[in-house]
Amino acid sequence: MDNTPSPPDLPGAGHAPGSLRARRALHWRTTRRLTAALLLLWLGTSFGAVFFARELTGLMLFGWPLSFYLAAQGASLVYLAIIGAYAWRMRRLDRQFAATALAQAPAPAQAGERP
């Protein structure tokens, strides 16, 4: 069995489960997953509107071919929804992280107290 220690810069490596460093690693991991998922949605929207344009031409929406609508309006609305979802979720994640960081922070010393 190899007894070499794990590198300290890896998330969660050598950290107690409730430590601030472990919480930071979890926060960053969750942020990266959210970003990756939303980037995949953005890529799928951009690629799908172009790749399926011929098939979507036969479908009409408000008198326009669906491919034209997706290229002109639909993709922009999806991008706006992606930005809104990212802002909403990141606000929640940041607040959760801040709350746990404050709960784990040591209480400030009172004036006149000695450690």
- Dump pLDDT digits (tens) for 70-81: 777 888 899 999
Distance CA 29, CA 21 (A): 12
Mean pLDDT value across residues 61-77: 82
Distances (CA, A) of 5 to 1, 24, 55: 12, 21, 56
- Dump pLDDT digits (tens) for 17-51: 568 888 889 999 999 999 999 999 999 988 887 88
Q: Which residue has the tokens 């034209």?
A: 68
Domain locations along the chain = 34-104
